[in-house]
Amino acid sequence: MVINIIGIGEILWDVFPDEERFGGAPCNFACSAAELAKNIVVRSANEHWSTERGTTLTVHFVGAVGSDAYGDRGRHALQERGVATNALQTKVAATGRVTVKLDATGAASYVFDPTSAWDFLSWSAELETLAGQCHAVCFGTLGQRGAQSKETIRRFVTQVPRESLRVLDINLRAPYFDASLIRESLALANVLKLNEAELPVVAGVCNCSGSEREVLVQLAQMFSLHSVSLTKGEAGAILYSGGKWSELPGQRVQVVDTVGAGDAYTASMVLGLLRGDDVELINRQAIAVASYVCTQPGATMPFPARLSLHG
């Protein structure tokens, strides 16, 4: 049995004042999922998992790079991190780049190239096959800024098996979103992850009001989401899944930068949901993974053994 987890959308290079780092939210998700999956204990918690001999977990990235040095380096970076790249397309347009600025607390802001190869992701027979074999797919709003990629991402998400996780890690980046994009993306998902800055935007678009928990429940009911997570930086995270709640504080760490922390949280959460773990365990593990990412430079990295998922 092969369990397939897919990140689909933007792939780019984060250009910091002193260096360049491989990134893009769905790429970060895929790399973190692949790293966490190295030592994962597979057990028969639900229909997604099997203890049969030969069970493997494969993480794929679906996106597009240019025929340039950044594209070659991006493909190599994914492969180095254990992510399958057979669905990574090569386009005429340049590989994406984003200028990253960090404030005094390590929080990041981003300026994206206006047009990049990941805007031109196209449908293929290979993507149709991969969608049909998918157990979990993670997508966002930024990857849909180009019309062609938007169509391909939505087609992929709608073609995954009904029981699979369709995870919207919303990733709002001005000016590349509007109300209709948010609502249409939510309608495709059955799992939502957003942060405290994105919550009021999404709540306003969807006419939700009340406390954080009340808004999360309203979103879950409105869009038939079985799991919703709100990450709050140092304040921790809230996870609502299957009618159960977990609200846990963050871990006190020395922050180097926050790039990729939310993506790592999502990766850990997805693995926990697939395993059928208790909601409190899922949230605690995901917070620990995200906190560790904040202590390291860049968005993707090896994780210590203590962050491996055991069951």
Q: Give the containing element (helix H, strand E) for 282.
A: helix 279-294
pLDDT at 39: 63
The CATH H-level (homologous superfamily) assignment of domain 2-307 is Ribokinase (3.40.1190.20)
Q: What count of other Cβ atoms lies within 10 Å of the Cβ of residue 296?
A: 17
Per residue in 168-190, is it b (16+ CB within 10 Å) or e — as a string? bbbbbbeebbeeebbeebbebbb
Amino acid letter, residue 113 = D
Q: How far is CA 164 from CA 22, 77, 133, 190, in A?
A: 28, 27, 9, 9
- Work out whether strand 165-169 and strand 134-139 pair parallel, antiparallel, or are unpaired: parallel
Chain segment 105-144, per-residue pLDDT in tens: 767 777 889 999 999 999 999 999 999 999 999 999 999 9
Give the pair of three-digit tokens for residue 35: 């790293």
What's the CA gap between 80 and 87, in Å, rounded? 16
- pTM for this structure? 0.91
Q: Are 199 and 192 in contact (CB under 8 A)?
A: no
Across the chain, where does the E strand assignment appear? 2-8, 12-15, 20-23, 56-66, 88-91, 96-102, 108-112, 134-139, 165-169, 191-195, 227-231, 237-241, 244-248
- Which pLDDT tens digit goes with each residue over 275-300? 899 999 999 999 999 999 888 877 77
Q: What is the pLDDT along the chain (311 residues), one digit of tens a residue?
A: 789 999 999 999 988 778 888 889 999 999 999 999 886 654 434 444 444 445 688 999 999 999 999 999 999 999 999 999 999 999 999 999 988 777 877 677 778 899 999 999 999 999 999 999 999 999 999 999 999 999 999 999 999 999 999 999 998 988 999 999 999 999 999 999 999 999 999 999 999 999 999 999 999 999 999 999 999 988 999 999 999 999 999 888 887 777 788 999 999 999 999 989 999 999 999 999 999 988 887 777 788 877 866 54
